[in-house]
């Protein structure tokens, strides 16, 4: 425990009061009656409950609930109930105070929100993920109060802002959870600013060098960018003023994460990304009924000066996005030959874009957009999520993956035979539409007519389709249907129909496994079932039994498991379940001077490991260890395609990892080389690789289309320094434009 002098304690006390007063100032505009007293009561209780607690940084713990409450008010726009809940959100979980006391002192609503925010005590099923279970619990409260999720996002944002003091493995775990679920959820709830910051912070803690490099380049180009923006908006400002419009024009750089995503997607360096920023025009003092016309008027003025790209016009005013987002987007060509994205919106639209759900409800309550066809974009989505939650009884990890896949798909707009508009996720099929109408229609669906043309149930819906469902009383859902639908509602209803049949196959499958294990003389228990599940790559033990019951896996294939058990017995190695049990069986490598080793765990013990084939890490890469159920520790790069999912689902299995090279060994790396073709260029490439740097090549393939070549080669390098040297040498070859590493 940190010992502070009386002077330091007094300074801390003053700082706590200063932060509390700032919170009250921010909340003052909407406080009513006894709200201030209620907030003070919550603050006093929280401060007292957390008085002996400190964060990893050494700061008083009360700073955290105060910061979360401030984010709720200032950045999300929530009210008194949320402030009180934010101040108290950790007291039930971390202190002696119980939920019934909270309910007695602050009412049922606050207690209900805090209960939703309190983590579950534990998970007994070894295949479960604590993170997934907790997130599922938070989402289940959505049926009652969306503020639980908004406060959870505020809590996560402050944790990400203060992640610097956490251990490396915790940084990776928390960042990955954030990228996998919280940033997409913030986006879906319309919290674009928070979503961008969460993504940037994720990149900061998972790929620090990339983050710092892009941030540095953005800063170095700021002066030139500011001048460009000033010149670009000058004629627009003049015309808008002449039209007597009240407006604000902002020019802001795109987030570091979005720039990096574009660099990776298009495989281009920072210098070749031209749309590094967007211009936003916000109109003030526009009546709701005049908003659409005013935005198109501004569009007309902009296109008087700059040529627009018709392919990149997005009208989110006529077709409001499912999260309530409204704006008119266009991309125009500047006089300097640079494409510029311009966003046109009113103050109301901008508030909803910045503060999402809370702003949507504020305007609804004031009647600013009451009775309009667009007012329920968010409500429709929230109702769909509630429907999904009510009809979902899958495991937490399946639930998490399914929720995420349904979270952020773009929408497709289709029509019923009577002309009613329906909105479904992009990728939805005729079968999805059938279940959207009614579960019985879905279960009996045999096909559809789209624009009077007969189509199968797997037909993917297109914008503007008018669809009529065809049914038959003899039709019943099959397991294949799950692959044909995109919506959670359809999947839930199909699973419900298949559940009874599935239970029978699960029982049959368990009997098959038990009988075979008995023949092999092996005892059966939950650990054995779980090991067999992992061996056959199933997500749940029940899925494994089902596949045996259906005959998808033959009983004779269990011989693999028998051989694994015998090997374990012969090597006297214990079954690895988690980090703690693994530490007990850490094996020292006998001749560390003879090979590269990886130092893993809190004590940095030298242990056996395998390199993951999905990302091929090499010495010098930023890596982490992942404890598998049957294959010991696997080493992944932190930017591995699978890293985010592994760390968000199984954070408790993540180990800190660090290379400690004793001797040069060779590791396989893939390189993609692109450029303009010329006679002798392949010879130059092979000369650099084989002769000059003495690098071994596993494979080399070049292809040329209209004077542009692309080559893929697999080479053996010692570490990232060796790889960097090779890439730099190759980039010096005349005609070579780009050399990038890829996962071979």
Which are the catalytic amino acids? 93-94
How many Å is the Cα radius of gyration of the chain?
Answer: 29
Contact by Cβ (8 Å): 582, 640: no
d(CA 120, CA 683): 62
Residues sharing a CB contact under 8 Å with residue 104, sequence separation 6 or more, in sequence order: none
What are the distances in angstroms from CA 473 to CA 377, 432, 441, 740? 35, 18, 10, 57
d(CA 275, CA 311): 16
Q: Give the CA diameter of the chain.
A: 90
What are the distances in angstroms from CA 346 to CA 293, 360, 364, 535, 674? 11, 14, 16, 56, 45
| Chain-centroid distance, C-alpha 430 | 28
* Secondary structure class of 424 (helix, strand, coil): strand
Residues sharing a CB contact under 8 Å with residue 626, sequence separation 6 or more, in sequence order: 612, 633, 634, 635, 636, 646, 650, 653, 654, 655
d(CA 151, CA 147): 6
Token duo for residue 254: 């795109």
d(CA 268, CA 265): 8
* Secondary structure class of 592 (helix, strand, coil): helix
User: Per-residue DSSP letters for 358-382?
Assistant: HHHHHHHHHTTTTT-TTTTHHHHHH
What are the distances in angstroms from CA 347 to CA 246, 437, 531? 10, 36, 57
DSSP conformational letter for 482 = G
Contact by Cβ (8 Å): 187, 78: no
Backbone angles phi, psi at 622, to 5 degrees: -75, 120
d(CA 411, CA 463): 9
Residue whose C-alpha is closest to residue 364's, from 376, 347, 380: 376
């Amino acid at each position: 425990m940190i010992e502070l002098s009386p002077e330091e304690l007094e300074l801390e006390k003053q700082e706590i009061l200063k932060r509390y007063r700032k919170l009250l100032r921010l909340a003052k505009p909407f406080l009513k009656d006894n709200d201030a007293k209620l907030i003070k009561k919550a603050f006093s209780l929280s401060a007292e409950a957390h008085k002996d607690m400190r964060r990893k940084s050494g700061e008083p713990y009360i700073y955290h609930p105060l910061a979360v409450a401030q984010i709720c008010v200032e950045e999300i726009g929530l009210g008194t109930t949320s402030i009180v809940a934010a101040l108290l959100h950790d007291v039930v979980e971390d202190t002696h105070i119980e939920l019934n006391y909270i309910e007695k002192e602050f009412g049922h609503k606050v207690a209900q929100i805090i209960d939703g925010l309190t983590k579950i005590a534990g998970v007994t099923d070894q295949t479960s993920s604590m993170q997934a279970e907790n997130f599922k619990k938070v989402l289940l409260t959505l049926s009652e109060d969306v503020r639980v999720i908004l406060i959870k996002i505020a809590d996560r944002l402050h944790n990400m802002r203060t992640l610097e003091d956490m251990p490396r493995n915790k940084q990776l775990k928390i960042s990955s959870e954030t990228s996998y679920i919280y940033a997409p959820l913030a986006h879906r709830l319309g919290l674009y600013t928070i979503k961008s910051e969460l993504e940037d912070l994720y990149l900061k803690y998972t790929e620090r060098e990339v983050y710092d490099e892009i941030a540095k380049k953005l800063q170095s180009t700021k002066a030139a960018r500011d001048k460009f923006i000033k010149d670009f908006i000058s004629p627009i400002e003049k015309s808008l003023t002449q039209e007597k419009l009240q407006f604000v024009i902002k020019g802001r750089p795109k987030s570091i994460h979005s720039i990096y995503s574009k660099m990776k997607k298009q495989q281009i360096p920072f210098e070749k990304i031209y749309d590094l920023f967007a211009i936003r025009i916000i109109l003030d003092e526009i009546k709701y009924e005049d908003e659409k016309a005013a935005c198109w008027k501004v569009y007309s003025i902009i296109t008087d000066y700059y040529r627009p790209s018709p392919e990149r016009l997005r009208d989110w005013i006529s077709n409001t996005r499912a999260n309530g987002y409204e704006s008119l987007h266009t991309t125009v060509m500047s006089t300097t030959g640079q494409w510029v994205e311009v966003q046109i919106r009113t103050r109301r639209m901008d508030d909803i874009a910045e503060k999402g759900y809370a702003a949507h409800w504020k305007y609804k309550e004031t009647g600013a957009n009451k009775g309009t066809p667009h007012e329920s974009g968010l409500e429709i989505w929230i109702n769909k999520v509630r429907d999904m939650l009510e009809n979902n009884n899958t495991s937490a990890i399946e639930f998490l993956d399914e929720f995420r896949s349904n979270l952020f798909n773009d929408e497709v707009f289709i029509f019923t035979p009577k002309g009613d508009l329906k909105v479904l996720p992009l990728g939805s099929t005729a079968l999805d539409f059938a279940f959207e109408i009614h579960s019985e229609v879905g279960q009996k669906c045999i096909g559809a007519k789209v624009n009077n043309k007969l189509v199968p149930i797997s037909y993917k819906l297109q914008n503007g389709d008018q669809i009529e469902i065809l049914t038959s009383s003899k039709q019943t859902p099959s397991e294949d249907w799950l692959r044909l639908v995109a919506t959670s509602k359809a999947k839930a209803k199909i699973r419900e129909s298949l559940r009874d049949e599935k239970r029978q196959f699960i029982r049959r499958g368990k009997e098959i496994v038990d009988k075979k294990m008995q023949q092999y003389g092996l005892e059966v228990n939950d650990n054995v079932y779980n090991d067999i599940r992992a061996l056959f790559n199933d997500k749940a033990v029940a899925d494994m039994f089902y596949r045996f019951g259906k005959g998808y896996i033959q009983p004779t294939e269990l011989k693999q498991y028998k051989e694994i058990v015998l090997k374990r017995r012969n090597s006297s190695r214990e079954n690895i379940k988690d980090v703690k049990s693994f530490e007990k069986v850490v094996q020292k490598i006998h001749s560390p001077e003879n090979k590269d080793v990886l130092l893993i765990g809190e004590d940095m013990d030298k242990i056996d490991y395998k390199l993951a084939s999905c990302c091929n890490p090499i010495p010098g890469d930023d890596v982490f260890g992942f404890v598998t159920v049957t294959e010991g520790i696997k080493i992944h790069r932190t930017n591995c395609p699978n890293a985010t999912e592994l760390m968000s689902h199984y954070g408790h299995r993540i180990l800190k990892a660090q290379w400690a090279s004793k001797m040069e060994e060779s590791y396989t790396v893939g390189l993609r080389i692109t450029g303009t073709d010329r006679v002798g260029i392949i010879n130059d490439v092979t000369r650099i690789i084989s002769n000059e740097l003495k690098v071994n090549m596993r494979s080399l393939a070049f292809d040329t289309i209209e004077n542009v070549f692309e080559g893929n080669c697999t080479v053996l390098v010692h570490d990232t320094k060796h790889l960097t040297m090779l890439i730099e040498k190759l980039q010096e070859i005349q005609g070579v434009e780009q050399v990038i590493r890829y996962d071979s």
